[in-house]
Chain A
Amino acid sequence: AQSVSQHNHHVILSEAASLELGCNYSYGGTVNLFWYVQYPGQHLQLLLKYFSGDPLVKGIKGFEAEFIKSKFSFNLRKPSVQWSDTAEYFCAVNANNQGGKLIFGQGTELSVKP
């Protein structure tokens, strides 16, 4: 069965620090990959997505992610975090043969100290 694993449950950083959140998935076929963010009290919002092409994907608010097929990974990065990036981040996978179904990781809570 497909699964998504996020390495860190809770990450604490100071403002201006660099961020990298790990995400690995288990599925041998073609996948679409997503990162979602959930700010406190708000709904899930799409940060970025990868379907095909350039494995380095740029999203909103300065986030980017790199798809490494050989490692089944899709790590999220940001060179300099801000206090407003405090939120929960979810990696998700959609397999091409499963319609629109998303498999989510367990989430990583990011706390940025001012």
Chain B
Amino acid sequence: EAGVAQSPRYKIIEKRQSVAFWCNPISGHATLYWYQQILGQGPKLLIQFQNNGVVDDSQLPKDRFSAERLKGVDSTLKIQPAKLEDSAVYLCASSLDLGEPYGYTFGSGTRLTVV
């Protein structure tokens, strides 16, 4: 079974620039998550999709972060404009359905450095 694919693996940008991350979940997984992992901390949920609808985006800084999951498959997470504190690893995960957290599969993440 193919895993969760994320790209790019690494990105370095200057503050105030914009950046986008892409995620391709496991085929058939209805639920998709974006987590932010700051160095020295555990991952924190940014947004959760069920198919192409948003379930939870309460922790997403909506003034600068946006995410979409068109057609209920791939997803993109965008930051515009980036701040220094956005430096982190952005993890995408997917699961079969909303009520199945035990079925989570994580991608390898995108490491963002904002300078």
Contact = CB atoms under 8 A, between A and B. Distances in A.
B100 A100 contact: yes
Contacts of A43: 3-4, 91, 106-109
Contacts of A42: 108
Contacts of B87: none
Nearest to B32: A100
B92 to A, nearest CB: 10
Q: How many B residues touch the partner, as a band?
A: 20 to 34
Given A90-B42, A92-B42, A102 B101 contact: yes
State which size class the interface on A falls in: 20 to 34
Interface stretch (B11-19, B43-51, B69-77, B78-86): B43-51
Contacts, number: 64
A32 B101 contact: yes
Contact of B102 (A49, A98, A99, A101): A49
A108 B108 CA distance: 19
Contacts of B104: 46, 100, 102
B60 interface: no
Contacts of B99: 99-100
Interface of A: 4, 32, 34, 42-46, 49, 51, 90, 92, 94, 98-107
